[in-house]
A and B are shown apart, each in its own frame.
Chain A
Amino acid sequence: MAIRLGDPDVPQMDLFRSEQMCLVQLIIPAESAHETITNLGELGLLQFKDLNADKSPFQRTYANQVKRCGEMARKLRFFKDQMTKASISVAVRSAAQKDLELDELEVKLVELETELLEINSSSDKLLRSYSELVEFQLVLKKAGVFFSSARSTASAYQRELEDVSSSSRDIPMDIPLLLEQEMQTDPSKQTRLGFITGLIAKTKVAAFERILFRATRGNLFFKQALVEEPVLDPATNEKVEKLVFVVFFSGERARMKVMKICEAFGANKYPFPEEVGHQAQMIDEVSTRLAELKATIDAGSRHRDSMLSMISYQIEPWSLMVRKQKAVYHILNMLNIDVTRKCLVAEGWCPVSAKLQIQDALHQAAFDSNSQVATIFQVLHTKELPPTYFKTNKFTGAYQEIVDAYGIAKYQEANPGVFTIVTFPFLFAVMFGDWGHGICLLVAVLWLILNERKYGSQKLGDIMSMAFSGRYVILLMAIFSIYTGLIYNEFFSRSFPIFGSSAYHCSDATCSQSSRSGLIKTQSSPYWFGVDPAWHGSATELPFLNSMKMKMSILIGVAQMNLGIVLSYYNAKFFRNELNVWYQFVPQVIFLNALFGYLSLLIIVKWCTGARADLYHVMIYMFLSPTADLADNQLFWGQKYLQILLLLAALVAVPWMLLPKPLILRKRHLQKLQGRAYGILGGSDTDSVDLDHGNDGDHEEFQFGEVLVHQMIHTIEFVLGAVSNTASYLRLWALSLAHSELSSVFYDKVLLLALGYKNIAVTIVGFAVFASATIGVLLCMETLSAFLHALRLHWVEFQGKFYEGDGYKFQPFSFSSIAKEED
């Protein structure tokens, strides 16, 4: 049986109270366990409790299966990786394919992986020799250039030398001497001049050259040429920018050193033939081999691509299946296993309304798995607080999110989400009242909603996905701000006489005096909807609008706070907490309404009668000298006595809130202590098993001091909060003022100024600035700031009055949520 609270005769509102939940126990025969959990996952209405919390993951019964699923998921990731490398996209499942069993799938995956690995390793080998050959070819070409250019300069020098020696005897003395010296040294000390050619990564070349220089003590000649395009490195198979180098050195020891250094730097050495004829021959050879290899590699990659594209058709269903199986085994790991009776015991929460569906799913599972025994389904009694579950749809979901972001509602607590659906967009619109901007917002959000299906299926950016998930909130926000914009009569800060003509007229035809002496009211009835357009641009525009919006903010605020307090009454009534009704709700209502309810009353009376009373004065002197004569500020007969009465009521309400509740709790506690020896025997239901679930609420220590301090904090918070929260609602006025002023600044100082020049270029620039300022500042930033302020008003001022928000969310085991999450 569920924890049933509240009056049965009060009709249940779907969203107002969270679903009734019950703790159920399933005793599942081992042979149908997997099938059962799968069916429940399809249904997605049962939240399992972890009954093996004390065991580490690998000590649990189905740890091996989870491991197997992990291994399969790894293989699938490997395939996906290979597919992205081969730039094959994941294909949408074309036709209904037959579902494989998990074991079959595992075998198949192993086969595919080994095959793919084989193909890869062979193609890697081929690719390696291919890229080695490419490098060799590069070396042949580039180094060939060095040698031929060196040869030509050398021969030129030789010729010059011969010219010099043969032609003239009258050259300076030192040249022949030098020559002689050279002649002498060369043949005697000549060691074999060796060289090494190869390729090295561009980033390493500086260090390489430095080390070579040091190792050979400078006895080397290093020449390098950049390869224009990045080359595939044979070792790592990555594209790297490389250089062809030639190192000349002398001596065998130097050769050893250079070889070692080359190896250390990962420079690939290639033999370079010295004779020119040989070079050409090698180039030919290399290019023919390259062509052959290329054909082989192409064939291999075609084979691999065809295999991968075959996989690509199935990888989505496969990985979904593996994820589902893994989730099923995770759940199975959470169950208690009774070895002797060969069954598994599960416990979990489900909505009371879903009991039948769950039982159907259980029967189906037992039938499908040919189990002789059906799963036993029974409801447990518990004192644990059930999870909170609201059935939301795509419209209400976003509003519920706003509430949930503050805190998940306590089980069956009054849900502010219901009211948020209307009040949130409305408070937003009060701050964002401009029907021009509202229409812009509406167009944007309608675009999102009409393309819902398209955007819903694809991944969006951070900000975009936020806007998308809140699209229905924004929709109402836009519609409401068109409404308030019509009331404020503002369209991009302009006003239009849409609802008939203005009630005011200028005193003369030119209207030259209007800003100084004001207008003359000509019609007896006021402008019939919203603010009269005549106010716009007049000298008294701001004082009028400010007074109106300020008073309106207070009215809205007092109304919403009263709603919050009334909801606390519904909570108290629902949870049968008489104390909260009489010692919390009643004094709170009295306190708030004696002060600010009265203020609201004065505002309305003043509006209706058109009196000139000063409300500040009335409110302040109500406290300072309640008995003094009101004089001009009297709005109605008996106001003075009413004020004294209200003041007294407010003063009484404070100790009323503070003292009785803790005292009564203490008295009850003492009574319970006296009567502890006797207990009331409760009637037991025959069809349910009673299990003791740990801590009983009764054993809690009662500490009077703590309760009193808690109540004191609560009282002080409420009393101070009544003032500060009312003041807080003035943000409605402030933001609305800021919005209209900003938009009129943009209109007057940018657009009108630009139009004033009567120059087409200036007009275009001016319009562009106006448009971007309107979109950037007013439509984006102002929307955000008004949103945040509306959020605060809901979280602090409204929900603070009644909302506990200390529940936890119902998270059923469901395949549909698994399918959504990407690994």
Chain B
Amino acid sequence: MYGFEALTFNIHGGYLEAIVRGHRGGLLTAVDYNNLCQCETLDDIKMHLSATEYGPYLQNEPSPLRTTTIVEKCTQKLVDEYKHMLTQATEPLSTFLEYITYGHMIDNIVLIVTGTLHERDVHELLEKCHPLGMFESIATLAVAQNMRELYRLVLVDTPLAPYFSECITSEDLDEMNIEIMRNTLYKAYLEDFYKFCKKLGGATSEIMCDLLSFEADRRAVNISINSIGTELTRDDRRKLFSNFGLLYPYGHEELALCEDFDQVRGVMEKYPTYNLIFAKLSYGESQMLDKAFYEEEVKRLCLAFEQQFHYAVFFAYVRLREQEIRNLMWISECVAQNQKSRIHDGIVYIF
């Protein structure tokens, strides 16, 4: 259902689309990665990155570098770009951009709550949070003792509040609860985002729904694999799957029943798109699954740039940049720990 979005899109979205496409041009290419892989020290990485768009962010760092500094500065660049776009955006793009960060907010909340559970220092935890998912009262999370308090004290002010309706219990927080909370929140978030994109219509809805379905399916598979051998019941597991995506609803029923990895594989191989991913893995191998999913995701995200006049490019850009930062982190870690032989295992090439 294409409207006449091409006619009017540029009135509000044209400038930002141009910006985001410009940013996309700054993503590191396979040549860059090849050069980075040959680096001997972190200073070499800095030197190479200073010839890219990361240059201004790294140039004032004193010489003994650490991996965290590189990652922090690179993330800072993403955050600056995101903030710039957000301030320039008008409705509904600004809401769309805000939706992108909710995932990080959920992760941050979980990080802080688990951290306080293990009695870590709040400020130390705050430093580990993703800057895209920060909100004003995030540090107060440490005060809460159970879900109800968590909601009533802090989260009621955040955009995540509506997602909490399903997981307000008075139970004390423990690892399991938190993990369930994370997944319930994520499910509600994805469903909400999906609904929002559907409402936007046009190419945005078409591409975003596809990307979000993939995300939902990936989460469903990960939940199934991670919950094998835990006390999570089948019904509970079923409840954590988002109610859309390629696997919904029949695949979910089957995934809920899976008892080991090969059963999950059996379920997934019925779906042609996922068959390709699983075909790359040998039997019984689940470690490489993440990378395979990342690669598939990157492929889909890159395709989002092939169409014009839609918002999915913003989502795709932020995701690709995050993938790039993950790559840089992997490369820097490998270089720092002298594990250069494994360097190619972790990189997901973007272009």
The interface of chain A, by Cβ under 8 A from chain B, is: 56-59, 63, 66-67, 70-71, 74, 77-78, 204, 207, 210-211, 214-215, 257, 260-261, 263-266
| A-B contact list, 28 entries, CB within 8 Å | A56-B38, A58-B38, A58-B39, A58-B40, A58-B44, A63-B44, A70-B47, A70-B50, A77-B59, A77-B60, A78-B60, A204-B136, A207-B157, A210-B157, A211-B153, A214-B156, A215-B153, A260-B142, A260-B143, A261-B140, A263-B122, A264-B122, A264-B139, A264-B140, A264-B142, A264-B143, A265-B137, A265-B140
Q: Complex: how many Å from CA A642 to CA B71?
A: 82
Inside 8 A of B153's CB, which chain A residues have their CB?
211, 214-215
Expressed in whole angstroms, the minimum distance between the Cβ of B150 and any Cβ of chain A is 11
Inside 8 A of A211's CB, which chain B residues have their CB?
137, 140, 153-154
Q: Complex: how many Å from CA A200 to CA B236?
A: 44
**Chain A facing B: main interface SS:** helix
Inside 8 A of B60's CB, which chain A residues have their CB?
74, 77-78
**A-contact 0/1 string along B128-149, CB 8 Å cutoff:** 0000000011011111000000
Q: Which of B24-70 contact A (CB under 8 A)?
A: 35, 38-40, 43-44, 47-48, 50-51, 59-63
Expressed in whole angstroms, the minimum distance between the Cβ of B172 and any Cβ of chain A is 15
Expressed in whole angstroms, the minimum distance between the Cβ of A270 and any Cβ of chain B is 19
- The answer on a CB contact under 8 Å between B48 and A57 is yes
Q: Is B120 an interface residue (CB 8 A)?
A: no
Given the known interface contacts A74-B62, A77-B60, A211-B154, the answer about A57 and B140 at a Cβ–Cβ threshold of 8 Å is no
Q: Is B21 an interface residue (CB 8 A)?
A: no
Q: Is B84 an interface residue (CB 8 A)?
A: no
Inside 8 A of A261's CB, which chain B residues have their CB?
140, 143
- The answer on a CB contact under 8 Å between A58 and B47 is yes
Q: Complex: how many Å from CA A56 to CA B61?
A: 22
Q: Which of B136-186 contact A (CB under 8 A)?
A: 136-137, 139-143, 152-154, 156-157
Q: Give the residue of A67, A77, A265 whose beta carbon is less than 8 angstroms from that of B139.
A: A265
Q: Complex: how many Å from CA A207 to CA B137?
A: 7
Q: Complex: how many Å from CA A74 to CA B55?
A: 12
Closest residue to A59 on the B side, CB-wise?
B38
User: Which of A74, A214, A266 has the most B CB atoms < 10 Å from its CB?
Assistant: A214
Given the known interface contacts A71-B63, A77-B60, the answer about A58 and B50 at a Cβ–Cβ threshold of 8 Å is no
Instruction: Apart from A70-B47, A260-B142, list 5 A-B contacts with CB within 8 A.
Output: A58-B47, A70-B50, A78-B60, A204-B136, A261-B143
Inside 8 A of A265's CB, which chain B residues have their CB?
137, 139-140
Inside 8 A of B152's CB, which chain A residues have their CB?
214
Closest residue to B50 on the A side, CB-wise?
A70
Q: Complex: how many Å from CA A127 to CA B54?
A: 33
Inside 8 A of A264's CB, which chain B residues have their CB?
122, 137, 139-143
User: Which of A204, A263, A264 has the most B CB atoms < 10 Å from its CB?
Assistant: A264
Q: Complex: how many Å from CA A253 to CA B61?
A: 44
Q: Complex: how many Å from CA A798 to CA B284?
A: 75
- The answer on a CB contact under 8 Å between B35 and A56 is yes
- The answer on a CB contact under 8 Å between B139 and A263 is yes
Expressed in whole angstroms, the minimum distance between the Cβ of A573 and any Cβ of chain B is 45
Q: Complex: how many Å from CA A208 to CA B59?
A: 37
Q: Complex: how many Å from CA A71 to CA B43?
A: 10
Closest residue to B152 on the A side, CB-wise?
A214
**A-contact 0/1 string along B9-29, CB 8 Å cutoff:** 000000000000000000000
- The answer on a CB contact under 8 Å between A57 and B47 is yes
Expressed in whole angstroms, the minimum distance between the Cβ of B51 and any Cβ of chain A is 6
- The answer on a CB contact under 8 Å between A74 and B59 is yes
Inside 8 A of B137's CB, which chain A residues have their CB?
207, 211, 264-265
Q: Give the residue of B38, B51, B136 whose beta carbon is less than 8 angstroms from that of A207.
A: B136
Closest residue to A211 on the B side, CB-wise?
B140
**A-contact 0/1 string along B193-228, CB 8 Å cutoff:** 000000000000000000000000000000000000
User: Which of B61, B137, B141 has the most A CB atoms < 10 Å from its CB?
Assistant: B137
Inside 8 A of A71's CB, which chain B residues have their CB?
63
Inside 8 A of A263's CB, which chain B residues have their CB?
122, 139
Given the known interface contacts A56-B48, A59-B38, A207-B157, the answer about A215 and B63 at a Cβ–Cβ threshold of 8 Å is no
Closest residue to A58 on the B side, CB-wise?
B44
Inside 8 A of A77's CB, which chain B residues have their CB?
59-60
Q: Give the residue of B47, B136, B141 whose beta carbon is less than 8 angstroms from that of A67.
A: B47
Q: Which of B97-149 contact A (CB under 8 A)?
A: 122, 136-137, 139-143
Expressed in whole angstroms, the minimum distance between the Cβ of B227 and any Cβ of chain A is 33
Given the known interface contacts A56-B35, A59-B38, A264-B122, the answer about A257 and B143 at a Cβ–Cβ threshold of 8 Å is yes
Q: Complex: how many Å from CA A207 to CA B153?
A: 11
Inside 8 A of A57's CB, which chain B residues have their CB?
47-48, 51
User: Which of A56, A260, A261, A266 has the most B CB atoms < 10 Å from its CB?
Assistant: A56
Expressed in whole angstroms, the minimum distance between the Cβ of A128 and any Cβ of chain B is 16
Given the known interface contacts A58-B48, A204-B136, A211-B137, the answer about A67 and B143 at a Cβ–Cβ threshold of 8 Å is no
Closest residue to B35 on the A side, CB-wise?
A56
Inside 8 A of A215's CB, which chain B residues have their CB?
140, 143, 153
Q: Complex: how many Å from CA A263 to CA B61?
A: 30
- The answer on a CB contact under 8 Å between A63 and B59 is no
Q: Complex: how many Å from CA A261 to CA B48?
A: 43
Q: Complex: how many Å from CA A74 to CA B64?
A: 13
